[in-house]
Amino acid sequence: MLLKNAYLCQFKENEFMPIFADVVIDEGKIIKIKSKSYEKFLKFRADSEEPENNTLSEYDANGRVVLPPLVNFHEHIYSRLSKGLPVTGDLSSFIKVLENLWWKLDRALKEKSIKASAQIAAIEAVRNGVGTVFDHHASPSAVSGSLNLIKQELKLRDIKGVLCYEVSDRNGKENMKQGVEENIDFFRFRTSEQFKSQFGLHALFTLSDESLNYIHNEVGDEDIGYHLHVAEGKYDVEFNKKNFSSTLLQRMKKFDLLNKKTFIVHGNHLTSSDLKQLNKYKVNIVHNPDSNFNNAVGTLNIEKVPQGLNLLLGTDGMHCNMLKTYKMAFLNLRHQNRNSTLGFDLLNRIFCNQFSTLKRFFGKSDQLRLADEGNFIVTDYIPYTPLNRENILGHFIYGITESSVRTMYQNEHFLMHDFDIEDEAKILKNAYAAGKEVFQNFEKLDK
Ligand SMILES: [Zn+2]
C-alpha cells in the first residue's frame, strides 16, 4: 500500500518528528519512507486540476497530517444508548446522577443492547481515529460473557481493546461475585494479541472491605492492573473517611491495588500528598475533562501531577473524540492555572505516554517509523504555515484538534476511507431498535 503526500508525524524519544513523505506499507509493516519537499508539493497541487482519486492500494493524503491511531484510556461503551434517555429522577448532585441515570441505565442493558452499544462505539472509535479502547464495562442484568460480547464487536472493526468489568456492591453480593468472575474469566481465557484486560472496580465507595478482600484473594498473584474511578467527586473521599476511617489511598494500598498497569481514573480530589505517594507506584492516572465539566465535579489539575505518574486522557463514555479531549485538557489546564504559557510540554508528555502505555499492555506501539506497524489515521488538516519539530504542537492544538479524522488504516486495511465506514447504516438501524428497548426497560425500573 502506498500512502503518498503525507505530513507524517513520527515519534522519536518522546518527541513529535514531522516529515513530509511517501510511505510504503507491506504486510502491515512500514518498509519505506521517502521524504520530499512540502513547498514543491504545494506548488504542484495549486497548479494541478486532477481530482483526488484514492484506491485501496494507493492513498493520496494530499498534504494532510497523518498520525498513529489514537487511544481512549477510559471509555464506557455501555453508555452509548443513553442519548435522550427519559430520565425522571433528581439529578442535582453527582451521586443522584449516578443513582438516577447511570446505575439505572446499566441495569436496563441486556445482551442485545450491549452488542448494539459496542457496535456503535466501534464505529465512533473509527470515526475519531481511535485504534485502541480501554473500556470499563457495567451491565448487572447480564454480567457473564458481557466482555466477550464487546470484544467480538470491536474485533469485527479491527479495534484493539483492554477490557474489564466494573465490580461493585451496589447490586448485591452475588452480582459482585459475578463481576469478579467475569474479569477473571476474560483475563485468563479471552485475551489475545489484540485484546488485553485489567480488573475493573467501580469505585471504592461502592465496595466494602469484605468485597475488596474477596477480590484480593480471587486475583491472587496474577499480574493484573486495576481500573477504577478514584476521587471523581468529593463524595468518594468523604464516604471512605466516614465509613472506613481511611483515605482512598490507604484503602488502595491495603488491598494491593496499585501497580504499573493500574488506572486511577479522574483523581480530581486527590491531594498533592496523595499524588506524591502514588508516584512511587508508577501508576497511570486518567484525566477526563469533558466528563468532569459535564458532571460539575471539579477536575484534576494536571500541572500538579508528578512526573513519575503516567498521565493519560479518556472520555468517560461521553464520546470517543480524543482530538477534542486533547483540546479540552489543554484549555482547562490554562484556565485552571490562569497561565497562558502552560500546555505544550504537558500535552507532548500526555501524547507520548500513550506509546509507553500501549507497550505495557501489548508489548508494542505504532509510532510511524520504519519497520513499525503501518497503522495510521489521516486528519483533515493541511498545514498552511510552516510546520517543524519546534512548532508542531501549535499546529496540533490550533489546527489538528479542530479537524476531523477522514481516514483510518489499521491491521492491513482501511477501517474508514475518506469518511466512508462499511455497514454504518445497518449498524445505526440495529442500534435504534436496541435503544428503544433500553428506553422501555429504563422506564420500567422507575415503577
Ligand atoms: Zn468512568
Secondary structure (DSSP) of 216-281: HHHHTT----EEEEESSSHHHHHHHHHHHS--HHHHHHHTT--STT-EEEE-TT--HHHHHHHHHH
Q: How far is the CA of 232 from the centre of ligand 1 (A)?
A: 9
Q: How far is the CA of 291 from the centre of ligand 1 (A)?
A: 8
Q: How far is the CA of 74 from the centre of ligand 1 (A)?
A: 6
Q: How far is the CA of 229 from the centre of ligand 1 (A)?
A: 6
Longest pairwise C-alpha distance within the chain: 72
Q: How far is the CA of 65 from the centre of ligand 1 (A)?
A: 31
373/332 Cα distance (integer angstroms): 34
Q: Which residues pair with 137 in a beta bridge?
A: 165
Q: How far is the CA of 43 from the centre of ligand 1 (A)?
A: 48
For residue 165, how far is the Cα from the chain centroid?
15
Q: How far is the CA of 388 from the centre of ligand 1 (A)?
A: 36
What pLDDT was estimated at residue 47? 85
Q: How far is the CA of 233 from the centre of ligand 1 (A)?
A: 12
Residue 161: which of 127, 192, 126 has the closest Cα? 192
Amino acid sitting at position 285:
I
Phi, psi of 443 (to 5 degrees): -65, -35
Residue with cell 428506553: 439
Q: How far is the CA of 293 from the centre of ligand 1 (A)?
A: 13
Residues of the chain with CATH 2.30.40.10: 2-68+372-416
Q: How far is the CA of 86 from the centre of ligand 1 (A)?
A: 21
Residues of the chain with CATH 3.20.20.140: 70-362
190/427 Cα distance (integer angstroms): 25
Q: What residue ranges of the chain have pLDDT lower than 50?
A: none
What pLDDT was estimated at residue 447? 59
Q: How far is the CA of 181 from the centre of ligand 1 (A)?
A: 21
Q: Measured between alpha carbons, how far is residue 83 from residues 95, 96, 282, 319, 348 in Å?
A: 20, 18, 36, 11, 33
**Who contacts 250 (Cβ-Cβ below 8 Å, separation ≥6)?**
none
Residue 168: which of 140, 197, 134 has the closest Cα? 140
Q: How far is the CA of 25 from the centre of ligand 1 (A)?
A: 37
pTM of the model: 0.97
What pLDDT was estimated at residue 351? 96
Q: How far is the CA of 317 from the centre of ligand 1 (A)?
A: 7
Residue 58: which of 134, 6, 7, 118 has the closest Cα? 6
Q: How far is the CA of 301 from the centre of ligand 1 (A)?
A: 18
Cβ pair 160, 193 in contact under 8 A: no
Q: How far is the CA of 220 from the centre of ligand 1 (A)?
A: 26
- Fold of the domain built from segment(s) 70-362: TIM Barrel (3.20.20)
What pLDDT was estimated at residue 46? 85
Q: Measured between alpha carbons, how far is residue 145 from residues 118, 156, 341, 426, 433 in Å?
A: 13, 17, 48, 24, 22
Phi, psi of 416 (to 5 degrees): -145, 130
What pLDDT was estimated at residue 53? 75
Q: How far is the CA of 137 from the centre of ligand 1 (A)?
A: 9
> 2-68+372-416: CATH homologous superfamily?
Urease, subunit C, domain 1 (2.30.40.10)
What pLDDT was estimated at residue 45? 85
Q: What would the grid cell of residue 29 be?
A: 509493516
